[in-house]
Structure 1
């Protein structure tokens, strides 16, 4: 555990100081997925000890393309805290991050706890609302390069989230058009179906994976379903906007 605690301190310090670090697996190629999740928890626990509050979970590697790229057949998950929240329409400071990128996503707001192996119907029944959202991802590793174990240990690159208007989850959100714009120019186009074929499957997977870690998704939690398109880099002076068909628009700016 001392070894894993040391890695957690390294990653926490890299995030806190916006300073890139070497991949853990470069010096420890035997690092396992189980080790990586322990490191993630130890690192996030350091944030909680500083006064941050857990507000939900995020899913990663939820597109088939990303699974193939990393060479896995399982999604990954990370933890969200209130310090990651960026108010919709406001500005985020670029200096807080190492090399941030942005992904359009769907967010779930939970009205009931969810944990373990559940059906899609049971997962949907626990949802209060859905929203267009964006996640700021920011690997703490040099050159944004990492293995599966590295990225899990690094809280699956999660760094920020922006949530748009909440909608009735009874809407069909299985295959909605998605447009990501930067400074008014369309940068990425996709569909909510890119998230495991249906974003609800991501929520089902989240319930199972969180339970395997001895935790649960709580009422009031936010669950980020995973990236819909490629993730372009962010730079000062940008206005970033995601529109999801039928759900609305979410926007933020990037400042120096």
Structure 2
């Protein structure tokens, strides 16, 4: 099966909101290059129809999850403008597929990140500010029956995201030790800190910056980078009320219709 045919299966699943079977059976084991090529086909299709790229998301930033999937690196997906919603807006459950939520720290860049062997210092210099975020992940793969090639091809299981309103200089937050708590209907359902994200969210952004530079598509000024979950993801259902707090970055909340 060609990359185009696999991409069409995933796109059709999204359009019809009918999840498809895993697509990994059509690819060699751990063929990440093909999975990213499939991802790009569908992202390019959306951009050709008016979609606007606004950033990137980093997935598989938990070392434990990497081990479970038999990989030694995270993955990335592309954020498009229509995926973002704002505080004060509700999220329509009808627009989601098998949704789960996770809280994380977003980096917003003030200049491009080009070059080889980029370091944490390069990321710090390039970051305009950091802000809290809740990412809603979703899967076009039936029952979340995914391996690494499934999720990469499916744009790293991207769905939607919301950013907090408090912006901090990266110098003014302890990224590694900032505590996160995620509540659903006022019940604490997930907690963690920056160590859950590759030891420090900076590490995941360093990985992404070098990965994108190597691909000839460096991270750019103004992009939003979702650095990875600070704790376990949780399932979402209609009428849920979500709230996340990240130490130093305040509170972020929304309701699911």
TM-score tier, shorter chain, comes to: over 0.9
Work out the CA distance in 2 between the residues paired with 1:186 and 1:254: 17
1:204 corresponds to which residue?
206
Aligned residues: 254
Counterpart pick for 1:221 among 212, 223, 230 = 223
2:79 corresponds to which residue?
80
Work out the CA distance in 1 between the residues paired with 2:188 and 2:29: 42
How big is each residue's C-alpha offset from its partner over 1:172-225, in whole Å with a ceiling of 9 and x where there is no partner? 222111000011111111112211111111110110111222201110000000
Q: What are structure 2's unaligned runs of at least 5 residues?
A: none
Work out the CA distance in 2 between the residues paired with 1:214 and 1:40: 16
Work out the CA distance in 2 between the residues paired with 1:162 and 1:189: 18
Work out the CA distance in 2 between the residues paired with 1:147 and 1:226: 18
Q: Secondary structure of 1:104's match?
A: strand
Work out the CA distance in 2 between the residues paired with 1:54 and 1:78: 11
2:47 corresponds to which residue?
48
**1:1-256 mapped onto 2 (5 Å cutoff):** 3-29=2-28, 32-115=31-114, 116-165=116-165, 166-171=167-172, 172-255=174-257
After TM superposition, the score normalised by the length of structure 1 is 0.95
Q: What are structure 1's unaligned runs of at least 5 residues?
A: none
Is the 1:12–1:46 contact (alpha carbons within 8 Å) kept by the matching residues of 2?
Answer: no
Is the 1:117–1:207 contact (alpha carbons within 8 Å) kept by the matching residues of 2?
Answer: no
How big is each residue's C-alpha offset from its partner over 1:131-176, in whole Å with a ceiling of 9 and x where there is no partner? 1101110011010111111111001101111100221211222211
Q: Secondary structure of 2:86's match?
A: coil
Q: Secondary structure of 1:201's match?
A: helix
Over 3 Å counting, the alpha-carbon distance change for 1:214 and 1:189 in structure 2 is same
Work out the CA distance in 1 between the residues paired with 2:186 and 2:63: 29
Task: Using the TM superposition, give the Cα deviation of residue 117 of structure 1 relative to its aligned residue in structure 2, in angstroms.
Answer: 2.3
Task: Using the TM superposition, give the Cα deviation of residue 109 of structure 1 relative to its aligned residue in structure 2, in angstroms.
Answer: 0.5
Is the 2:30–2:148 contact (alpha carbons within 8 Å) kept by the matching residues of 1?
Answer: no
Is the 1:182–1:238 contact (alpha carbons within 8 Å) kept by the matching residues of 2?
Answer: yes
Is the 1:18–1:95 contact (alpha carbons within 8 Å) kept by the matching residues of 2?
Answer: no
Task: Using the TM superposition, give the Cα deviation of residue 31 of structure 1 relative to its aligned residue in structure 2, in angstroms.
Answer: 6.9
Work out the CA distance in 2 between the residues paired with 1:185 and 1:170: 32
Is the 1:107–1:130 contact (alpha carbons within 8 Å) kept by the matching residues of 2?
Answer: yes
After TM superposition, the score normalised by the length of structure 2 is 0.95
Task: Using the TM superposition, give the Cα deviation of residue 49 of structure 1 relative to its aligned residue in structure 2, in angstroms.
Answer: 1.2
Work out the CA distance in 1 between the residues paired with 2:30 and 2:9: 15
How big is each residue's C-alpha offset from its partner over 1:92-125, in whole Å with a ceiling of 9 and x where there is no partner? 1111122000011110000000134211011110
Q: Secondary structure of 1:118's match?
A: coil
